Amino acid sequence: MFHKFSHGILVLDYGSQYTLLIARKFRELGVYAEIIDGAKGKVPDGFEYTGIVLSGGPDSVSDVGARKIPQWVLDSGKPILGICYGMQLLVEHFGGKVRAGTHREYGNSKVRFDAKNSHLEGMFNGLSPSEVVWMSHGDDVASLPDCFDKIGLTTDNVVAMIAHKSEPILGLQFHPEVEHTTNGKQLLLGFAKLCKHPLDWQPGEMVESCMSYVKETVGSGHVLMGVSGGVDSTVAVKLMVEALGHDRVTACFVDNGLLRKNEKQWVSAQLTELGIKDLVVLDREEAFLNALRGVTEPEQKRKIIGNTFAREFEAYARAHKSEFTHLGQGTLYPDVIESAKHGAGAQVIKTHHNVGGLPADLGLKLVEPFRHLFKDEVRKIGLQLGIPEILVGRHPFPGPGLGVRVLGEVTKERCDILREADAVFIDRLRSEKLYDDVWQAFVVLLPVKTVGVMGDNRTYQSVCALRAVCSSDGMTADVSRLPFEFLTTVASEIVRKVHGINRVVYDITTKPPGTIEWE
């Protein structure tokens, strides 16, 4: 796939919610990392790995059927870093004991750290004797194998860091990949050094490699590319046009009636400006809203939207089947990994995940140039391709759109109310130059009515919530500390301008325990 990046660190996934973050943090440091299934995964063809990370996971090492360390990992002679469950696997394998914890430890903890007598001391440059770390575990180490040293303990005396006495093998009970571990990145960098891995991963330089992939995959064919106006599909369609020329790329945008205010016009204009000549816009608002009528349960809404999208897209592709050989998608690495569910065929499942399942008899092959990249890496490629900041820097927008932001029943009227309120918030963020300070911002329309007073009249209208978060990847998120004055200005503008809303609240929930969207 990537002709240049055939080397990196291999991350074995045992099911932790943070596995993707491990790969992402290494890549931020300039070290390419690939994820494979912890128990059944195979090293990708032609991939040279310099070190192996064993991720965390929900299993207990003593469970029947618990996933183990594959023998080839132990035979490899490469440096190994076990994180949480990964560390417990190491302890068990080398003859120590792991005990079932009586309670789950979740959150910040302090670790007293001392690696003076370890041959791996060099890995820990920059760490202080007391480090703040992020714990998320149930089990812990009861006794260490003889061949390991204890080099870190929490204030409750839980074994937090261990190092093999002679081999380049170490374990961390906490999560260095999570932002809350203050020097987590430093630790991962130390491991990369232990692996003697060069810091040579530069996503911006991947343009050439992605273009060759597109040329090789499509040959003399013609791509039907699904576009949404979001970062991934915009960068993907631009890359395809650069690689194949205008005549062999058709961009297809579905207006499902669940988009933000003026989105169709804005996206069409931006894509045209970007030099995308062949753009098809399908107006399918009615089909989507009809399918959603009376539905309030969020998962059901998601399924209906996904299926309707697939049906509409399929109808277009079928009607124009003879023109196209390939279906283009802006699929990202997290989509591939999250859809793969540990060892199932990632490619097959992803097709379904992204477009809700197009039938095999359509005969279109897939072309997904970013299926090994994270969003921020795609942004860098976008900038390299000359795509303006206003497109590359757009906040993420969920596939099901306003369908998961209008809580309760989704109707055109309620979507219109939300569109207006959302536009006030986003326009204000832009005009006050706060848009780029938040990772994602939007308004949610609640299925709750409250009493208010406007002029001399009683009102009985809906509540909306403003959501604004800081994040680097959407996997964890903090509440944006937007100025209070700004929030009150937005609130009064919404109540004044948007008929149907008489009260505005600000969501101050972090992720976890909340999610970013409300649904």
The residue range among 45-53, 129-137, 292-300, 511-519 that interacts with ligand XMP, by the rule CB under 6 A, is: 511-519
Q: Which of 177, 312, 368, 377 is catalytic?
A: 177
Compute the C-alpha angle 77/81/82, nearest 5°.
Answer: 120
Which is nearer to ligand XMP, 255 or 278 (by Cβ)? 255
Collapsed DSSP state (helix, strand, coil) of residue 297: coil
Closest separation in Å from C-beta 246 to ligand XMP: 27
Which is nearer to ligand XMP, 205 or 517 (by Cβ)? 517
Closest separation in Å from C-beta 303 to ligand XMP: 11
Give the C-alpha separation, 93 to 88, whole Å: 8
Give the C-alpha separation, 142 to 158, whole Å: 9
Q: Which of 84, 195, 210, 464 is catalytic?
A: 84
Is there binding between residue 444 and ligand XMP (CB under 6 A)? no
The residue range among 81-89, 170-178, 183-191, 396-404 that interacts with ligand XMP, by the rule CB under 6 A, is: 396-404
Is there binding between residue 517 and ligand XMP (CB under 6 A)? yes
Which is nearer to ligand XMP, 311 or 321 (by Cβ)? 311
Is there binding between residue 507 and ligand XMP (CB under 6 A)? no
Which is nearer to ligand XMP, 52 or 516 (by Cβ)? 516
Closest separation in Å from C-beta 355 to ligand XMP: 12
Is there binding between residue 403 and ligand XMP (CB under 6 A)? no
Pairing verdict, β 249-255 and 365-367: unpaired
- What φ, ψ does residue 125 adopt, rounded to 5°? -55, 135
Which is nearer to ligand XMP, 177 or 473 (by Cβ)? 473
Please report the DSSP string for 167-219 in residue order.
SSEEEESS-TTSTTSTTHHHHHHHHHHHTT------GGGGHHHHHHHHHHHHT
Tokens of 29: 């440091």
E strand or H helix at 380: helix 375-384
Which residues are CB-neighbours of 222 under 8 A, at least 6 positions away? Answer: 247, 248, 249, 250, 323, 324, 325, 326
The DSSP bridge partners found for residue 477 are 511
Give the C-alpha separation, 366 to 325, whole Å: 9
Give the C-alpha separation, 461 to 364, whole Å: 48
Closest separation in Å from C-beta 25 to ligand XMP: 18
Which is nearer to ligand XMP, 144 or 470 (by Cβ)? 470
Among 96, 184, 400, 403, binds ligand XMP (CB under 6 A): 400
Is there binding between residue 229 and ligand XMP (CB under 6 A)? no
Is there binding between residue 168 and ligand XMP (CB under 6 A)? no
Give the C-alpha separation, 498 to 489, whole Å: 14
The residue range among 68-76, 146-154, 394-402, 425-433 that interacts with ligand XMP, by the rule CB under 6 A, is: 394-402
Q: Which of 175, 197, 326, 372 is catalytic?
A: 175
Is there binding between residue 396 and ligand XMP (CB under 6 A)? yes
Residue 175 catalytic? yes
Residues in the interface with ligand XMP (CB under 6 A) total 10
E strand or H helix at 449: strand 440-454
Is there binding between residue 399 and ligand XMP (CB under 6 A)? yes
| Residue 323 DSSP symbol | G
Binding site for ligand XMP (CB under 6 A): 396, 398-400, 440, 474, 511, 515-517
Q: Would you please indicate which residues are annotated as catalytic (active-site) residues?
A: 84, 175, 177
